[in-house]
Amino acid sequence: MTAISATHLSKSFGHYHVLQNISIEIAQGECFALFGPNGSGKTTLLKIFATLQRPTSGHMAILGHDGSQGKEEIRASLMFLAHGSHLYEDLNAIENLQFALSLRGLSPSDHEIKVALDRVAIGAFSEMKVRNFSAGMKKRLALAKATLAQPQVLLLDEPFSALDTAGMEIMQNYIREVVHRQGTVLMSTHDSDKTRAIAHRAGIIRKGHLEPYDIGTSPDYGLS
Amino acid sequence: MIHKAIRRIQRLKGWFGGGAALCIFAGLYLGLIDSPPDYYQGEVVRIMYVHVPLAHTALFAYTVLFGGSVWYLWKRDPIVDNMCHACAALSAIFTALALATGMIWGKPTWNTWWTWDARLTSFIVLLLILIGYLMLRTFIDDPEKEARYAAVLAILGFVDLPIIHFSVEWWRTLHQPQSFSIRGVSISSGLLVPLFCMSVGMSLLFSYMLMVRTQLLYLTHLLHAKKGRLLSQFHLSKADS
Amino acid sequence: MAFLKVVQWIVWKDLVTEIRSRETISSMVFFALIVILIFSFSFSMNQQAAQEVIAGIIWVAFAFTGIIGLGKSFSSELQNDCLESLQMVPAPKGAIFLGKVTANFAFIFVVEILLFPMFVIFFNLDVIEEIPILLLIFFLATIGLSAVGTLFSALTVQIRAREVMLPILLLPLVVPVMIAAVEATKGALHGDPFSLYRQWVELLSIFDVVFTVVSFWLFEFVMDS
């Protein structure tokens, strides 16, 4: 079944037309990489799929739920790891996870939280206030949030920025895991090298239009 | 391509304008020249023929703004948003004029410019709400957000208006036993006809100005959108080369 | 129930953040103290004159202090784009509204409780018997301020000139709350029988009910596109 679909999607901010007539279908269990120069509208497209922005014209649907009518259902099954970490500086790592997941209707046990934090290698900092985290640590904590929420659709805005080599590997493995359980991943990125091994397809936004983009994808899903 | 409502406006606005002119001239003649002066206030009472219709029209305009805002949040039609924007500016103008004529009436009658009269005070609050609305629109860049937030403010303000009026009126009766109400003029039938004429005329004038301004705003936005499309294409093609 | 859980967690988050950072309440209290001092210098008063204006001074101080707290309510969410994450919560936006209103109400009410003894001391007020009714007036007026204020805090946080637009938009709309609160407080401080200023307390209650409901309903349009 189609996980993410857009039909003649356009978005303009006043007089500036960012996205024009974008149509795409991404199936369940697929990983799609979105390329494009700075300011091309990658983040805007992701925000429209995340229901944060309303398209100027056209439709979008996530897992069959329409973008304008089924917002709550979409938000329950989707997770967006954006540029901002969505973390509260005065809470510590554990509290941030508890808060974010409770708002989604989940209540993870202490053990599950510990496992998730260890998995992204910040288990030692679980009681530390996020104010003292580095940018990379915040990105890892956001990833831990996703591992606990287990969304069916995952949107990533430049997931590899601010991460060190170890962090990038953790991110790649997590994306593989999501695809493996038939989840769908849509990510915007600048880095063809890192994406080659995990993306099934790629596209590029040029002049507001979405075109297929060949980066020599050779998704490696043999390993678990 | 031009919205069909705009075509309708272009056809009808002449009638509204003409009707407004007719009613206002008739009302002014009847009120300023033909009707008798008031027993207590003398000739000064004639300003009532301008002040009261202005006040009614300002409230009518605000009701239209409320209706348009609800309609916009429901249907999200951009031309309705243009109408709301035009309506708010006109409503502010009529409110300010109502206040000015109220003050001009007050000076010779009670020898003060400002009396904290219930109606004048609630009108000042209404004017502040409208100015806030217009400022809000200036400070938002995204037109969709601008329309949505402005509609929220207009709806809240409209619901608040009767509460503001009552609270101010209670406050006045508490601190000013003798009513400085501008309604302290005995209305006889001789005064009603010009008053009615002027009220209808002012409402028609407001409707006419609303149509013209909505049309202007709509066409301006259309022009900007076209310009934006051309500019976007130009810049993006330059970026390629 | 998912709705109530969201409300609870939002309140928890705001309270814990405030307890740890101590930013909001302390700045509100000190700001209000400065306002009180400036009023004292501006009005050289004898006991008689003080009785007339004190209610007004109290509510001017509370209103401007409240605006500071209300502004921080949503501007604190701008850090790390947390406002985005609130927009993506799979629950009705009204739950977030109620959570925020509750937290804002708590902050403003605490500040009012902390400040009122200062007023009593500085202006020599004799109010022991009236404390319960004064608390009721503070409670009702603060609900009204918080409900409309939270809506406008969310609205102005995403626009230019946000710090100045919040008072410009909020204050004309809460004129009934200010009038009613001042008149009721004046009556209570004066020791008048309740029946004399009861209409103002009723007006506050009506305003609270109407505006909490309307703001609750309109919040959806502010948070969602």
Give the chain A residue nearest C82 (alpha carbons).
A86
Tokens representing residue A49 in the block: 């799929």
Domains, in order of start, for chain A: 2-84+152-212 (3.40.50.300)
Tokens representing residue C68 in the block: 């500071």
Token match 């989840």: residue? A183
- Distance between CA A85 and CA A152 in Å, rounded? 20
Give the pLDDT score at B180: 43
Q: At C150, is the pLDDT very low, low, confident or very high (cuts 50, 70, 90)? A: very high
- Distance between CA C154 and CA C93 in Å, rounded? 12
Token match 């503001």: residue? B164
Which pLDDT tens digit goes with each residue over B62-107? 999 999 999 999 998 889 999 999 999 999 999 999 999 988 888 8
Give the pLDDT score at A223: 46
C-beta separation of C24 from C69 below 8 A: yes
pLDDT: is B191 or A189 the higher one? A189
Give the pLDDT score at A217: 66
C-beta separation of B239 from B232 below 8 A: no
Contact C160 B140 (CB under 8 A): yes
DSSP conformational letter for A127:
T
Per-residue pLDDT, averaged over B22-38, amounts to 75
Percent of chain B scoring above 90 in pLDDT = 37
> Is 70 exceeded by the pLDDT of residue C176?
yes
- Distance between CA A57 and CA A9 in Å, rounded? 6
Give the pLDDT score at B23: 83
> Is 70 exceeded by the pLDDT of residue A76?
yes
Give the pLDDT score at C123: 81
Would you call B135 an interface residue with chain C, using a CB distance cutoff of 8 Å?
A: yes
Least confident of A88-102, A204-218, C124-138, C164-178: A204-218
Per-residue pLDDT, averaged over C137-156, amounts to 96
Give the pLDDT score at B67: 96
Would you call C223 an interface residue with chain B, using a CB distance cutoff of 8 Å?
A: no
- Distance between CA B129 and CA C173 in Å, rounded? 7
Instruction: Return the residue in B62, B73, B156, B174 with the most chain C beta carbons within 10 A, the one to mutate for interface testing.
Output: B156
Q: Supply the mean pLDDT for chain C.
A: 90
Per-residue pLDDT, averaged over C165-185, amounts to 95
- Distance between CA A199 and CA A9 in Å, rounded? 23
Collect all residues of chain A within an 8 Å Cβ-Cβ radius of residue C72: none
Per-residue pLDDT, averaged over A95-112, amounts to 92
Among B141-150, C100-109, C188-197, name the most confident range: C100-109
Give the pLDDT score at A218: 66
- Distance between CA C37 and CA C42 in Å, rounded? 9
Distance from the Cα of B205 to chain C's closest Cα (Å) equals: 28
> Is 70 exceeded by the pLDDT of residue B240?
no
Token match 């002049």: residue? A207
C-beta separation of A144 from A97 below 8 A: yes
In a domain? residue B116: yes
Give the pLDDT score at A224: 38
- Distance between CA A184 and CA A26 in Å, rounded? 8
Sheet containing A31-35, strands listed edge to edge, beginning at the edge strand earlier in sequence: A78-81, A153-157, A184-188, A31-35, A201-206, A209-212
Per-residue pLDDT, averaged over C137-141, amounts to 96
Would you call C13 an interface residue with chain A, using a CB distance cutoff of 8 Å?
A: yes
Distance from the Cα of A71 to chain C's closest Cα (Å) equals: 8
Give the pLDDT score at C44: 66
CA dihedral (B71, B72, B78, B81) positive or negative: positive
Give the pLDDT score at A68: 86
Which SS3 state, helix, strand or coil, does residue A128 take? Answer: coil
Contact B229 A14 (CB under 8 A): no
Distance from the Cα of A48 to chain B's closest Cα (Å) equals: 14
Q: Where are the domains of chain C?
A: 2-223
In a domain? residue B146: yes
In a domain? residue B240: no
Collect all residues of chain C within an 8 Å Cβ-Cβ radius of residue B129: 172-173
Percent of chain C scoring above 90 in pLDDT = 66
Q: At B38, is the pLDDT very low, low, confident or very high (cuts 50, 70, 90)? A: low
Kindly report the three-state secondary structure assignment for every residue of chain B.
Answer: CCCHHHHHHHHHHHHHHHHHHHHHHHHHHHHHHHCCCECCCEHHHHHHHHHHHHHHHHHHHHHHHHHHHHHHHHHCCHHHHHHHHHHHHHHHHHHHHHHHHHHHHHHHHHCCCCCCCHHHHHHHHHHHHHHHHHHHHHHCCCHHHHHHHHHHHHHHHHHHHHHHHHHHHHHHHHHCCCCCCCCCCCCCHHHHHHHHHHHHHHHHHHHHHHHHHHHHHHHHHHHHHHHHHHHHHHHHHHHHC
C-beta separation of C147 from C211 below 8 A: yes
Q: How many CB pairs (< 8 A) connect A and C?
A: 71
Per-residue pLDDT, averaged over C13-17, amounts to 94
Residue C14 CA, distance from chain mean position: 16
Burial (0-12, 13-18, 19+ Cβ within 10 Å), A67? buried
Q: Supply the mean pLDDT for chain B.
A: 83
Domain of B192, in residue numbers? 4-234
> Is 80 exceeded by the pLDDT of residue A78?
yes
> Is 90 exceeded by the pLDDT of residue C83?
yes
Contact C224 A85 (CB under 8 A): no
Would you call A207 an interface residue with chain B, using a CB distance cutoff of 8 Å?
A: yes
> Is 80 exceeded by the pLDDT of residue C54?
yes
Give the pLDDT score at B222: 84
Nearest to C200 by CA among C144, C151, C131: C144
| C110-114 contacts at long range (C-beta below 8 A, 24 or more positions apart) | C110/C25, C111/C25, C111/C28, C111/C29, C111/C32, C111/C62, C111/C65, C111/C66, C111/C69, C112/C62, C112/C138, C112/C142, C113/C138, C114/C29
Which SS3 state, helix, strand or coil, does residue A57 take? Answer: strand
Give the chain C residue nearest B161 (alpha carbons).
C173
Residue B221 CA, distance from chain mean position: 22
Which pLDDT tens digit goes with each residue over A9-32? 999 887 778 898 999 999 999 999
* pTM for the whole structure: 0.90
Percent of chain C scoring above 70 in pLDDT = 97
Give the pLDDT score at C144: 96
Distance from the Cα of C90 to chain A's closest Cα (Å) equals: 5
Contact C210 B139 (CB under 8 A): no
Collect all residues of chain A within an 8 Å Cβ-Cβ radius of residue B140: none
Collect all residues of chain A within an 8 Å Cβ-Cβ radius of residue C9: 99, 102-103
Per-residue pLDDT, averaged over C204-211, amounts to 95
Q: At B1, is the pLDDT very low, low, confident or very high (cuts 50, 70, 90)? A: low
> Is 80 exceeded by the pLDDT of residue A135?
yes
Phi, psi of A27 (to 5 degrees): -85, 165
pLDDT: is A161 or C49 the higher one? A161
pLDDT: is B132 or B50 the higher one? B132
Q: At C47, is the pLDDT very low, low, confident or very high (cuts 50, 70, 90)? A: low
Least confident of A147-161, B43-57, B224-238, C49-63: B224-238
Name the amino acid, one letter, at C214. V
Collect all residues of chain A within an 8 Å Cβ-Cβ radius of residue C20: 90, 129
Contact C80 A88 (CB under 8 A): yes
Give the pLDDT score at B178: 47
How many residues appear in chain C?
225
Give the chain C residue nearest B172 (alpha carbons).
C179
Collect all residues of chain C within an 8 Å Cβ-Cβ radius of residue A105: 2, 5, 90-91
C-beta separation of C100 from C65 below 8 A: no
Helices (H) and strands (E) in chain A, counts: 7, 10
- Distance between CA B93 and CA A90 in Å, rounded? 48
Collect all residues of chain C within an 8 Å Cβ-Cβ radius of residue A53: 225
Distance from the Cα of B93 to chain A's closest Cα (Å) equals: 27
Residue C5 CA, distance from chain mean position: 24
Token match 């509100």: residue? C28
Contact C175 B145 (CB under 8 A): no
Instruction: Return the residue in C80, C83, C89, C222 with the most chain A beta carbons within 10 A, the one to mutate for interface testing.
Output: C80
